[in-house]
Amino acid sequence: MRILVLYTGELGKKVIQNLINSSNFCVSCGELCNHCRQARKSYANLIVGIHEFPEDLPPFIEEPSQFLPPKLPECDLILAIGIHPDLLAAIPEVVKNTGAKAVIAPVEDSKKTPAGILEQLRKELEATGVEFEAPKPFCSLEKTGKPIIDAFVDLGFGRPILRIEMSPDGKMFIGAGVIRDAPCGSTWFVAKKLGWTDFSEYKETISGAHHSYPCTGSMDKDPQIGDTILHKAGYIIREAVEDAMECAKKEKARLSAASGDEVRALASEN
């Protein structure tokens, strides 16, 4: 897969750094870092192009071609992150020039990425057989049966999935591992903060870590979801942790039952 990243703002920078998995990207542990992310593969080789648009563009852009790079590389997937609405509307032209087969345009602020433009973009792209998703927020992205976009999720980016390790008494997180990461990289940060904290305090731990990462989702109420995008992102990571906690509890119960069966089997032999 060849990925082209077009972006404006902090989210784009975080997504790029998370894809590359640079050694100085995650700072959650400070001097106590145990380099847990070293085991995670870097996808720098998949990025064929990066272009950052400035944040001080005119409110209205009549000729988007004036601001688009004159030459962009061929690619399979375009990540259009936080870019000006008029430039977003010009993505079909970028698709033609690059041969892209899919576009992901995540939404962290519905004022900057209007729903009307996204719907227009969806219609134009899908009419030509180009896959399109506009996850709101980016960490809500899941597999949908679209091959290129699903392949991006399979790399390990989208709606978070974690693995939880619990203490023998089932009251404390011993640790947490990341199976699928939020594209911005926040899942690793939350997972690290969960280590050696009480199960009973998991909501406060997650909320504190999610906000301090920090999440770049808007705090303005979004009319489509009926809440803020930042809050939705917070609910997503909390649900991911709760799912992992439930799996850990079931596994603990299974192992306990298996151990009990072994004891009973030995007792019956004697």
Rounded to an integer, the average pLDDT of 34-63 is: 91
Residue 38: the pLDDT is 78
CA 12/CA 229 separation, integer angstroms: 16
Q: 10 Å Cβ neighbour count for 166?
A: 19
Predicted confidence at residue 26, as pLDDT, reads 77
66 DSSP assignment: G
Contact yes or no for 149/158 (Cβ under 8 A): no
Q: What is the mean pLDDT of the chain?
A: 92
Q: Residue 36 has what pLDDT? A: 76
- What angle is formed at CA 77 by the lines to CA 215 and CA 7, rounded to 5 degrees? 40
pLDDT at 31 over 90: no
Torsion on CA atoms 61, 7, 93, 96, rounded to nearest 10: 170
- Cβ neighbors of 245 (< 8 A, separation 6 or more) are 164, 166, 199, 202
The closest alpha carbon to 248, from 193, 212, 194, belongs to 194
What residue type is assigned to position 259 of the chain? S
269 — pLDDT class (breaks 50, 70, 90): low
pLDDT at 2 over 80: yes
Q: In this predicted structure, what is the pLDDT of residue 253?
A: 86
Topology of the domain covering 3-154:
Rossmann fold (3.40.50)
pLDDT digits (tens, 9 = 90+) for 205-232: 999 999 999 999 999 999 999 999 999 9
Question: pLDDT exceeding 70 applies to what percent of the chain?
Answer: 94
Helices 202-212 and 229-269 meet at what angle, rounded to 10? 140
Domain extents in the chain: 3-154, 161-267
- Is this model's pTM higher than 0.85 or not? yes
Q: Which of 28-32, 127-131, 164-168 has the highest mean pLDDT?
A: 127-131
Give the pLDDT confidence score for residue 170 in this predicted structure: 85
Q: Which residues contact 138 (CB under 8 A, 6 or more apart)?
A: 11, 15, 81, 104, 106, 107, 108, 182, 183, 184
Q: Which residue has the higher pLDDT, 256 or 172?
A: 172
Contact call for residues 236 and 186 (beta carbons, < 8 A):
no
Instruction: Write a three-state SS string for 120-154.
Output: HHHHHHHHCCCEEECCCCHHHCCCCCCHHHHHHHH
State yes or no: pLDDT of 264 exceeds 70. no
Alpha helices per DSSP H over 128-219: 147-154, 186-194, 202-212
